[in-house]
Amino acid sequence: MIVQLKKTMIAVGIVERSGKSKQALQAAKECRDHAVQEWKQAKVALNSARQSIREFQSKQKVLQNERDLAEARAMEALEENVLMREKEEKLKLMCEAIIKLKEEFLKLEDLHAVEFAKAQEVMNQDICARKESEGREDDEKKWQEEKIRLHSQVQILQKKLVLLELQNQQQRTKRNAEKEAAKDKKSALETDLQALRDEVERVKRLLKDQVVSETRAVDKLEEKIRALQAENVALRVASTHIQGALTDIAGAKEKCEQVKNERKLQRRVDILTLHLKEKQTIVANKDKDHTRCRKRILNLESELQFEQARHEKEHLTQNASAPAANSVFAKQKVEELEFPNAFLRETLALSCKEWGKPFSAKMTSNEAQLQHLRWRLVQNGISLNSSAPDHDMNDTIGHGSNSQIQREEQHFLVGQEVQEESLAHSNELRNKKQHVMAKNIRLLELELENENLRLEYVRLRRKTRCGSGDLKDAHKQLSGAKGIGNGGRRSLWAAHEWLELEDVVKKMKALIKELRAENKKLKKAAAKQASVSLERRDSMRRKLMIAKEF
């Protein structure tokens, strides 16, 4: 359209220039006007097309937004479906757990039904004795009923045996797992010991190399000393004034050596006092743990004595109604519980003795070593609180060859002694820590056993109490009517057993939490002790390096 308009404009221009007739000019203008109108119409159509394109684009954006919303809703629906599936799985698991609990409750109800059947047997025997005159048919029916009940009792006992076998298998698996864990701990300790031995051998090799290098240096210094001695003889012959000055320098050198020896002894005393303080803190912590365990054992003993006295009182009050067999069984259980309790007391006393003796021996040895070092300091004429002199003396006093060799020898000997003592103390501390960790674990195991025995004792006491109450009810029912309802009694038994199970579960959860907390504390303490031992070793090495530099 634009091309056509250009052509018409060019044609009109040509006609105007050529000066042709008016008709041709008018026809050209009409063509131009017609082309302009067509161009305007095309422009309007183009604008309308652009407007429609914009509308379509806006519609497209709206549709895209709707599609995004639909996709988001679909994702939410999928997530909801996943959550619903997870909820359904959880509900299935809960249903299975409820079914298992129902089965356990049914088993307990069966056990109570067996006990109730025993009481009812006694009642039936009395009723049969009274109603012998009624005929043999009734007796035969009763015997058949009793046979069926006995058969049910046998089945229940067989189920109980199966459950006991399963429990024994679980206990065996637990024991095997504990044995494997102990083996793993032993292997880890062996690897740690091997690493420490390798490190000790490496340090020994380094010391040997250092000794060889120092002996070579000593030989060179001896040669220098001989040369210097020859020079000194020549100088003495030369001048008496120089000889007096040399004697003054030798006295100053001796004083410097004495001061350095005093510093070394003072450092050694400080190191040993630090070791003694650390051992005293360890002993105090162990005493605190010991007192805590003693208090715990005394509390458990008092609780046990209180429960025994209470059980004896209840036994005396219920002696008229309860049979002799239950009392004998309860006494046997109490005696069985008293024996492991006495064993736990003896093991605790032995562990206390084992802890006390090595710590007291170590304390006495450290004190003796400190006294020996103090005596050496007194012999050298040093007080423990005396401050070291200034370091400027080393700059003003000349370094002689003999004093330098003696100083290096003393420095090497002191460094070797300190290193040997540090290694010995680190090994002793590691052994003591391992021993204490083993004792703590053993104490936790004993506490857990004691708690289990106490729970068993409480359960048996409740059983005996409930058994005596049921026998009283049975005696009352013998004098009553013939028909007896079993639904109320079974519900009472089920509620009582449910409460018992809840108590046991709560106590076991509390014990498991305590054991987990103790295990976490022990792990943290072991990590801290390992880090502290490494830091101490590094600090000792730095001190030795600083001493060698000085």
Range 477-496 average pLDDT: 49
> Are 377 and 269 contacting, i.e. CB atoms less than 8 angstroms apart?
yes
Residue 106, token pair as written in the block = 């049914």
Range 214-233 average pLDDT: 66
Among the candidates 91, 112, 135, a domain finishes at 91
Exposure of 115 by Cβ count < 10 A (0-12 exposed, 13-18 middle, 19+ buried)? middle
Residue 482 has what pLDDT? 41
Exposure of 126 by Cβ count < 10 A (0-12 exposed, 13-18 middle, 19+ buried)? exposed
pLDDT digits (tens, 9 = 90+) for 259-286: 676 677 667 666 766 766 776 677 677 6
Does residue 469 lie in a domain region?
A: yes
Give the single-character DSSP code of 1: -
Among the candidates 26, 61, 91, a domain finishes at 91
The 8 Å CB, 24+ separation contacts for 405-409 are 405/218, 405/221, 405/222, 405/225, 406/257, 407/257, 407/260, 408/214, 408/217, 408/218, 409/218
Confidence of residue 84 (pLDDT cuts 50, 70, 90): confident
Range 358-371 average pLDDT: 65
pLDDT digits (tens, 9 = 90+) for 122-176: 777 777 777 776 777 777 777 778 777 777 777 777 777 788 888 888 888 888 8
Residue 40 has what pLDDT? 82
Lowest mean pLDDT among 181-195, 240-254, 265-279, 338-352: 240-254
- Which one of 69-78, 143-152, 295-304 scores highest in mean pLDDT? 69-78
The model's pTM: 0.22
Measured CA to CA, the distance from residue 528 to residue 183 in angstroms comes to 24
Q: Which whole-number Å values give the CA distances from 189 to 197, 471, 534, in the listed order?
A: 12, 59, 16
Does residue 332 lie in a domain region?
A: yes
Measured CA to CA, the distance from residue 217 to residue 223 in angstroms comes to 10
Does residue 155 lie in a domain region?
A: no
Confidence of residue 43 (pLDDT cuts 50, 70, 90): confident
Measured CA to CA, the distance from residue 312 to residue 295 in angstroms comes to 26
Which is higher by pLDDT, 195 or 42?
42
CA contacts within 13 A on the Cβ side of 383:
3
Collapsed DSSP state (helix, strand, coil) of residue 389: coil
Lowest mean pLDDT among 409-418, 466-475, 516-525: 466-475
User: How much of the chain, in percent, has pLDDT values that exceed 90?
Assistant: 0
Angle between helix 22-130 and 2-18 (nearest 10): 170
Residue 519 has what pLDDT? 66
H or E, element range at 284: helix 240-317
Confidence of residue 390 (pLDDT cuts 50, 70, 90): very low
Does residue 511 lie in a domain region?
A: yes
Measured CA to CA, the distance from residue 151 to residue 170 in angstroms comes to 29
Does residue 163 lie in a domain region?
A: no
Range 229-243 average pLDDT: 59
Does residue 165 lie in a domain region?
A: no
Q: Which whole-number Å values give the CA distances from 99 to 277, 350, 419, 481, in the listed order?
A: 62, 49, 68, 37
pLDDT digits (tens, 9 = 90+) for 422-476: 666 666 766 676 667 666 666 666 666 666 677 667 667 666 665 555 444 544 5
Q: Judge whether residue 71 has pLDDT over 70.
A: yes
Mean pLDDT of the chain: 67
pLDDT digits (tens, 9 = 90+) for 22-34: 666 677 677 777 7
Contacts for 467 with CB less than 8 Å, ≥ 6 apart: 115, 322, 326
CB atoms within 10 A of CB 74: 10
Which is higher by pLDDT, 14 or 390?
14
Q: Judge whether residue 521 has pLDDT over 70.
A: yes
DSSP assignment of 502-530, as one string? HHHHHHHHHHHHHHHHHHHHHHHHHHHHH
Exposure of 413 by Cβ count < 10 A (0-12 exposed, 13-18 middle, 19+ buried)? exposed
Give the single-character DSSP code of 53: H
Measured CA to CA, the distance from residue 254 to residue 251 in angstroms comes to 5
Contacts for 250 with CB less than 8 Å, ≥ 6 apart: 400
Does residue 463 lie in a domain region?
A: yes
Q: Judge whether residue 62 has pLDDT over 80.
A: yes
Range 189-202 average pLDDT: 68
DSSP assignment of 442-492, as one string? HHHHHHHHHHHHHHHHHHHHHHHHHHHHHHHHHHHHHTS-S----HHHHHH
Q: Judge whether residue 355 has pLDDT over 70.
A: no
Range 276-303 average pLDDT: 68
Q: Judge whether residue 403 has pLDDT over 70.
A: no
DSSP assignment of 19-31, as one string? T--HHHHHHHHHH
Q: Judge whether residue 548 has pLDDT over 60.
A: no
**Domain count for the chain:** 2
Lowest mean pLDDT among 7-21, 31-45, 85-99, 124-138: 7-21
Exposure of 240 by Cβ count < 10 A (0-12 exposed, 13-18 middle, 19+ buried)? exposed
Residue 134, token pair as written in the block = 């009624």
> Are 269 and 414 contacting, i.e. CB atoms less than 8 angstroms apart?
no
**Domain span holding position 351:** 257-476+495-549
Measured CA to CA, the distance from residue 118 to residue 125 in angstroms comes to 11
Confidence of residue 18 (pLDDT cuts 50, 70, 90): low
Which amino acid, residue 449? E
* Residue pointed to by tokens 């394109």: 53
Among the candidates 56, 91, 126, a domain finishes at 91
Range 31-51 average pLDDT: 81
Q: Judge whether residue 47 has pLDDT over 80.
A: yes
Does residue 398 lie in a domain region?
A: yes
Confidence of residue 488 (pLDDT cuts 50, 70, 90): very low
Residue 510 has what pLDDT? 73
Measured CA to CA, the distance from residue 153 to residue 113 in angstroms comes to 9
* Residue pointed to by tokens 């600083």: 546
Which amino acid, residue 157? L
User: How much of the chain, in percent, has pLDDT values that exceed 70?
Assistant: 36
Q: Judge whether residue 481 has pLDDT over 50.
A: no
